[in-house]
Amino acid sequence: MIRRFFNKLRFKILQLRGLTALPVIPQSPMRSTHRSLDERELYPHLFPNYKPEPIPEITVGSIITWFLIKFGILMLVMWFLFERYHLQEYWMVGLAVIWLVVVYPAFMQYQRFKAQTRMLEANTLCAKCRHFDETGHFCKLLDEHVSLTYTPCGGESWEAKQHFGKDDDDETFS
């Protein structure tokens, strides 16, 4: 709370000095659901300790790994409980627990991952490159993760994809 107060105070001082005229990235009405940039990336002077990491917090591999770990542990616990307390008649409860503890959180993480992918596609040059891998948000050429603030090659090794997607009408590179 104190840090927030000092950051607001610092921002007011910067406003008085005329140093807050930062560019605002307009969002198109077609993609109003996508977030263009995080406020920590737009106003780095307000968040001095924020260091954007190029490594995404979730990938398809991490979703599958945690799905399998949680499913395995839950199956062992349910097998022990069902055998210990003779609960074989309540198998629907077991299915509901699997859905609530394993499947639904994995589905929500995948939806969040897809939203991050759409945000990268809308705001980075890397998403239109043929070396970009959507499943892990990384550049296959340099084997480094891509983020909103980090392009592994700096745009020097960029090559257009042969096909941009079903929604694009631009057939310049096909």
Supply the pLDDT for residue 103: 97
Give the pLDDT confidence score for residue 172 in this predicted structure: 53
* 66 membership: H or E segment, kind and range: helix 60-84
Residue 35: what pLDDT?
A: 45
Q: What is the pLDDT of residue 77?
A: 95
SS3 of 137, please? coil
Task: Let me know: does 132 contact 126? Beta carbons within 8 Å.
Answer: yes
Q: Where are the domains of the chain?
A: 56-123, 125-165
Q: What is the pLDDT of residue 6?
A: 78
Each residue's pLDDT tens digit in the chain (174 positions)? 787 887 788 777 777 766 565 544 454 555 444 444 566 666 666 767 666 555 666 888 889 999 999 999 999 999 999 999 998 899 999 999 999 999 999 999 999 889 888 888 888 888 889 998 888 888 888 888 888 778 888 888 888 887 655 555 555 554
Torsion sign over Cα 23, 121, 105, 50: negative
CB 136, CB 145: distance < 8 Å: yes
Cα distance between residue 86 and residue 27, in whole Å? 58
What pLDDT is attached to residue 163? 64
